[in-house]
Amino acid sequence: MLDIYTPEYFMKQAMLEAEKAAQSGEIPVGVVIVSHQRIIARGHNVVEQLGDVTAHAEMIAITAAADYLQNKYLKDCTVYVTLEPCVMCAGALRWSQVGKLVYAAADPKAGFMRYGKELLHPKTKLEYGILESECRALMKTFFTDKR
Amino acid sequence: MLDIYTPEYFMKQAMLEAEKAAQSGEIPVGVVIVSHQRIIARGHNVVEQLGDVTAHAEMIAITAAADYLQNKYLKDCTVYVTLEPCVMCAGALRWSQVGKLVYAAADPKAGFMRYGKELLHPKTKLEYGILESECRALMKTFFTDKR
């Protein structure tokens, strides 16, 4: 049987979230959180809508996933996000002890990787580059349209 | 005229918030955010109450201050917090472009300063050590009582 629940499938779902953000004039970042092959939480950037710098896609989705699981730790979960998380979101992911983080496009300016993988929990696995060019294109289109 | 609105006054107000956290069985961290000598937001740690690792005192207060000011940037504000912020909260403070951060006790284990002041916004002023022993005592009492 063909397994449709590939990392690419989940990243495409995160891209759908990012597109919702773009449609509202927000920087297009989207997240899904997956537990045992099921999406248990979604989130997109709502910083402008809420006027709240903490309302990044990852923060929204971490809170939603913990609420769904009734457990503040996300040890069995994988977070798929279209852009490399910032330092704030990496810190939140660390506290959540998330099982795995998968991000698409790198963010050399605000991404957490300038401080290295140790910003995450020691048990968190890390993967990146899945659908990188598609997610980078999402950002590029957004900022080109803005100008 | 005697100015009662000293840094110690505001840090004591943050300590009152921390005590509320302790009374609910939360790690006692409290915050007040001050704009033009007025407290515009308060917050204490509600991680256990909400079952949400993102619900640190600083995050709660940043969101509340932005809502009060109807401005997501806190450039004219000072954040008083009883404990050195973690990496997540330092990242949030950076996004808020807060004018000044004052923390009491150091947190060598989870505090942001292991990565240095550059985790904050370049324009954010930093002070620490105000009522340090009192705020450290708050933490110590909490953890001693827990055992």
Strand positions, DSSP E, chain B: 30-35, 38-44, 77-83, 100-105, 125-128
pLDDT in tens, A118-142: 999 999 999 999 999 999 999 999 9
Say if residue A2's pLDDT is above 80. Answer: no
Q: What is the pLDDT of residue A32?
A: 98
Q: What is the pLDDT of residue A28?
A: 97
Model confidence band, residue A1 (pLDDT cutoffs 50, 70, 90): low
Say if residue A95's pLDDT is above 80. Answer: yes
Model confidence band, residue A4 (pLDDT cutoffs 50, 70, 90): confident
Q: What is the pLDDT of residue B101?
A: 98
Does the CB of B63 have a partner CB in chain A at under 8 Å? yes
Instruction: For residues B55 and B46, give the distance between their C-alpha atoms in angstroms, rounded to a whole number.
Output: 6
Q: Give the tokens for residue B8.
A: 């110690």
Instruction: For residues A146 and A143, give the distance between their C-alpha atoms in angstroms, rounded to a whole number.
Output: 5
pLDDT in tens, B43-78: 999 999 999 999 999 999 999 999 999 999 999 999
Q: Give the tokens for residue A88.
A: 């704030």
DSSP A92-142: HHHHHT-SEEEEEE--TTTBGGGS-GGGS-TT-EEEE-TTHHHHHHHHHHH
**Chain A positions in Cβ-Cβ contact with residue B54 (cut-off 8 Å):** 54, 59, 62-63, 92, 95
Query: In 3D, which of B76, B74, B80 has the Cα closest to residue B6?
Result: B80
Please provide the average confidence, as pLDDT, over all residues in chain A. Answer: 96
CB-nearest partner of B53 from A47, A95, A115:
A95
Model confidence band, residue A77 (pLDDT cutoffs 50, 70, 90): very high
Q: What is the pLDDT of residue A91?
A: 98
Q: What is the pLDDT of residue B1?
A: 59
**B51/A72 touch (CB, cutoff 8 Å), yes or no:** yes
User: Choosing from B58, B84, B132, B134, which is the catalytic residue?
Assistant: B58
Query: In 3D, which of B93, B79, B72, B82 has the Cα closest to residue B12?
Result: B82
Tell me how far apart the 2 most distant CA atoms of chain A are, in Å.
Answer: 47
Give the residue from chain A lying closest to B95, CA to CA: A53
Q: What is the pLDDT of residue B146?
A: 78
Does the CB of A71 have a partner CB in chain B at under 8 Å? yes
Say if residue A85's pLDDT is above 80. Answer: yes
Residues shown for chain B: 147
**Chain B positions in Cβ-Cβ contact with residue A86 (cut-off 8 Å):** 91, 95
Instruction: For residues A83 and A135, give the distance between their C-alpha atoms in angstroms, rounded to a whole number.
Output: 7
Q: What is the pLDDT of residue B18?
A: 98
| A44 close to A31: Cβ distance less than 8 angstroms | yes
Give the residue from chain A lying closest to B89, CA to CA: A88
| B28 close to B21: Cβ distance less than 8 angstroms | yes
The residues that bridge with A30 in the sheet, in sequence order, are A44
Does the CB of A24 have a partner CB in chain B at under 8 Å? no
The stretches in chain B having pLDDT less than 70 are 1-2
ipTM, 2 decimals?
0.96
CB-nearest partner of A91 from B51, B71, B87:
B87
| A17 close to A57: Cβ distance less than 8 angstroms | yes
What is the 3 state secondary structure string of B100-138? EEEEEECCCCCEHHHCCHHHCCCCCEEEECCCHHHHHHH
CB-nearest partner of A52 from B47, B66, B86:
B66
pLDDT in tens, A24-72: 999 999 999 999 999 999 999 999 999 999 999 999 999 999 999 999 9
Q: How far is B19 from chain A (nearest CA, A)?
A: 22
Mutation target for A interface from B87, B107, B109, B117: give the one with most A CBs within 10 A: B87
**Chain B positions in Cβ-Cβ contact with residue A89 (cut-off 8 Å):** 88, 91
Instruction: For residues B124 and A65, give the distance between their C-alpha atoms in angstroms, rounded to a whole number.
Output: 33
